[in-house]
Amino acid sequence: MRVPTVSRAADVRICTNARRPVGLRPAATVGRVTDPADRRPLDAARVRAQLGAVPGVGRVEVVATTPSTSADLVAALGREPGKWPDRSVLVTDHQSAGRGRAGRAWQTPAGVALTASWVLRPAVPVECLGWVPLLGGLAVVRALADVGVRATVKWPNDVLVDHPGRVELAGWGVRRKVAGVLADLVPTSAGPAVVLGIGVNVHQAAAELPVESATSLRGVGVEVDRAVLLAGLTGHLVDLDTRWRAASGDAEASGLARACATSSATLGARVEVELPGGGTLRGVASGLGPDGALVVTEASGRTRTVLAGDVRLRLEGTRTA
Ligand code: ATP
């Protein structure tokens, strides 16, 4: 069966907690970002201590460098699924070959980004799993709100913030990508698992960002301890995931669909969708389907549904509704 917004072989990234974790600094209290301590390597003991305060987290592993935390977990689940229980986390200080969708790259220098992946084993119908990347994006939005950063989600997997100078960029408007999410569906002997990968640009200076459409928390004037951000994100992820599972994966009943719509940069906006077989679909993003797919209404009034694995989406302008 096709699982709409989850890529088949590998990737994405982020998470939650209703309480602000100790150490997250709201924008107003954030100093300039020249402190070399901001770039100190991730301290495994500190990461464990922060995550220890989040209920329900499984195994926690911290590695100095790896090509891709998601690729690692996908492979590990294939080899030894029992060793990676539900809500395990793998985080690295440097992801050297991070992945986006459709073989695209997620590029982050050492020591400046949050790059982590989570194992999720939700006992929900497989057709509901397309909500996992959207749940991840929402968890990022909430974790960033805790540090005073207003973010939205460009369906299905980009977390955006406004450019401080509100400079327009074609296809992005005044928005820039601060985080990306990627979900890999992994069949295991114990049933399907999802590896949810999240990358957040934290301390990068402008010259360290790979594309013009990228920004970092530093770029919007906020410095955050990555271990604390990881704990905050994980808390929100666990919270959203728990509610969604309690509704058996029903995004409407759990409130997930409404929350995703509220935090969406896409719904109500004019969009341009690059279709997998070629061609471009233009219209207004008018809703989310029951499986998390994007519904686009063309000028003719015809509606079409697009699946995350298939599309590249550009925002043509600001929201129309
Ligand atoms: P787009 O970002 O063009 O809308 P997409 O949503 O499909 O496409 P993904 O595949 O999720 O993008 O992410 C990979 C893309 O993100 C890369 O092709 C590059 O344009 C961009 N990118 C790579 N690294 C970063 C980063 N650290 N921060 C922001 N954007 C990045």
Pick from 84-88, 153-157, 227-231, 314-318: least confident = 314-318
How many other C-beta atoms lie within 10 A of the C-beta of residue 164? 12
pLDDT at 308 over 70: yes
End of a domain among 261, 289, 311?
261
Degrees to nearest 5, angle at CA 125 with 119 and 128? 75
Nearest-CA residue for ligand 1 atom 8 is 312
Q: Please give the number of the atom of ligand 1 that sits closest to the Cα of 181.
A: 11
283 Cβ contact partners less than 8 Å away, ≥ 6 residues apart: 270, 271, 296, 297, 298, 299, 304
| 63 in the same domain as 157 | yes
Distance 301 CA to ligand 1 centre (A): 31
Residue 306's alpha-carbon distances to 23, 67, 78, 102, 217, in angstroms, are 40, 30, 30, 15, 30
Tell me if 158 CB under 6 Å of ligand 1: yes
| 272 in the same domain as 136 | no
pLDDT at 193: 96
pLDDT digit string (tens) for 188-234?
Answer: 888 899 999 999 999 999 999 999 999 999 999 999 999 999 999 99
Is 3 domain-assigned?
no
CA gap 162, 160 in Å, rounded: 7
Pick from 6-10, 200-204, 272-276: least confident = 6-10
Pick from 6-15, 107-116, 241-250: least confident = 6-15
Q: Please give the number of the atom of ligand 1 that sits closest to the Cα of 216.
A: 28
pTM over 0.95: no
| 194 in the same domain as 48 | yes
Structural domain harbouring 270 = 266-319
| 240 in the same domain as 309 | no
Is 70 domain-assigned?
yes
Half-sphere exposure of 7 (CA within 13 A, CB side): 26
The arithmetic mean of pLDDT across residues 154-176, rounded, is: 94
The arithmetic mean of pLDDT across residues 85-105, rounded, is: 95
Degrees to nearest 5, angle at CA 108 with 104 and 111? 155
Q: How many domains does the chain have?
A: 2
Q: Please give the number of the atom of ligand 1 that sits closest to the Cα of 108.
A: 27
Instruction: Write b or e for each residue in 265-285: b if 16 or more Cβ atoms lie within 10 A of its Cβ, otherwise e.
Output: bbbbbbbbbeeeeeeebebbb
Surface-to-core class of residue 55, CB atoms within 10 Å of its CB (0-12 exposed, 13-18 middle, 19+ buried): exposed
| 278 in the same domain as 257 | no
End of a domain among 225, 241, 261?
261
**Token digits for 160?**
């955006």
The arithmetic mean of pLDDT across residues 232-249, rounded, is: 98
Q: At 285, which CATH number?
A: 2.30.30.100
| 273 in the same domain as 199 | no
CA gap 140, 156 in Å, rounded: 13
**Token digits for 183?**
């979900």
pLDDT at 109: 96
Distance 276 CA to ligand 1 centre (A): 17
**DSSP symbol at 29:** G
Is 17 domain-assigned?
no
Is 246 domain-assigned?
yes
Tell me if 203 CB under 6 Å of ligand 1: no
Is 2 domain-assigned?
no
| 231 in the same domain as 315 | no
pLDDT digit string (tens) for 103-122?
Answer: 899 999 999 999 999 999 99
Distance 213 CA to ligand 1 centre (A): 8
pLDDT at 19 over 70: no
| 116 in the same domain as 85 | yes
The arithmetic mean of pLDDT across residues 162-182, rounded, is: 95
pLDDT at 298: 97
Tell me if 201 CB under 6 Å of ligand 1: yes
| 210 in the same domain as 114 | yes
pLDDT at 178 over 60: yes
